[in-house]
Amino acid sequence: MVIKGRGRYPKKKPVEIESPTPHILKLASLKRQDAADKALELLHEVAALVAPVMSHYGFKVGLLCEMYPKDKCLLGLNVNRGQKICLRLRSPTDNKWFLCRDEIVGTMLHELTHNWHGAHDNTFYKTLEELKDKYLEFQVNSSLRNSTYRNNFSAPRPLRFSANKPKAKYTTRVSKLGTNKTLTTPTQLDPSTLRAILFKAAQRRINDTKICADVESAKLSNVPEDDELKIIEVISLDTDITNSQRGIEQLSSSDDPHDSPEVIVLD
């Protein structure tokens, strides 16, 4: 028996979740990958962690989404300086395993730096280090605010000292250019070792610049299309973010519809 319908099927409302920051308009995971909801949760956690940094510097992102590129070395992409930021969330050798959250946060900070500065030069790396320091500062302050010691009474001196340690360790790791050796001053380093370290740093920056300049069009294929994504609208319970959201929405439009997107690559 056929029954006459009463009009079109109602359109499905987009799924919404509370926003970790008004500076990100949408989150999205890949539909074709397993555990897409888990990927969304991970993106939400990363967004929440970098939210204080984004607020401090005024960074805006239209869409923060998952990517799983064929290039196993590719960790992130920034399209049009924040219109879309894509992050690798899963292991390049096994898509059922998610990467460490701290590694993803590091990639996110790198891509946010590209909102300010495109080329991988001294200005870029100086800004990135500033963002890393600011991120750790916010994390330490947050830990102190949430500490039971902080809630009940002033923290004893050893706790305060240990709370200040992470930043120093982190800065040391970054300055060592990937080595596990104790950081030493240039006067303590053998001249040949110092030259090797400086050459390695310079070569990395040259390679980064070449990648961004030479293969941008090729890397566009790694940017997932909207129909490949499970997009979630993020809403804020704070009504005083209209102007901020308008600024984000402007990222998704261009004065010239024929403009090709600027893709900035982190490998």
Identify the band that residue 5 occupies on the pLDDT scale cut at 50, 70 and 90: low
**What is d(CA 51, CA 53) in angstroms, rounded to the nearest whole number?**
5
pTM: 0.63
Between residues 84 and 196, the one the model is more confident about: 84
Q: Tell me the pLDDT tens digit for each residue of 168-180.
A: 443 333 333 333 4
Angstrom CA distances, 151 to 12, 142, 148, 154, stand at 45, 12, 5, 8
Q: Is the pLDDT reported for residue 250 higher than 60?
A: no
Identify the band that residue 236 occupies on the pLDDT scale cut at 50, 70 and 90: low
* Both tokens assigned to 118: 């495109």
Between residues 241 and 229, the one the model is more confident about: 229
